[in-house]
Amino acid sequence: MNFNELFSEHEIQVLQERARRVASAANDRGEDNVLSVLMLRLNGERYAMPIDKLTAVYEGIAVVPVPCTPMFVSGIANVRGYMISILDLSHLLDVPGNDDGKDQNVLIVVSNETMRLGYRVDQIGEVRNFAKDELASVPANFDNGAYVKHILPDGTALLDIDALLDDPRIIVDETLN
Residue 22 CA to residue 14 CA, distance in Å, equals 12
Q: How far is CA 59 from CA 45, 108, 113, in A?
A: 19, 9, 25
CATH number of the CATH domain containing 76: 2.40.50.180
**Residue 170 burial (CB count, 10 A):** 16
pLDDT of residue 21: 75
95 in a structural domain: yes
Q: Which domain holds residue 121?
A: 35-170
pLDDT tens-digit map of 12-48: 787 778 777 776 655 555 557 899 999 999 888 899 9
pLDDT > 70: what percent of the chain?
Answer: 82
Rounded CA-CA distance 44/49 in Å is 16
Strand ranges in the chain using DSSP code E only, listed in sequence order: 34-42, 45-50, 54-59, 73-79, 82-88, 106-111, 116-121, 123-131, 148-151, 157-159
Please tell me the predicted confidence (pLDDT) of residue 137. 85
**Does residue 21 form part of some domain?**
no
Mean pLDDT of the chain, nearest integer: 82
More confident residue, 9 or 105: 9
For residue 57, with 0-12 CB atoms within 10 Å meaning exposed, 13-18 middle and 19 or more buried, which class applies?
middle
Q: What's the distance, CA 100 to chain centroid?
A: 21
- The mean pLDDT value for 139-161 works out to 83
Q: Is residue 162 part of a domain?
A: yes
2: in domain: no
Q: Does residue 46 form part of some domain?
A: yes
Residue 150 domain flag: yes
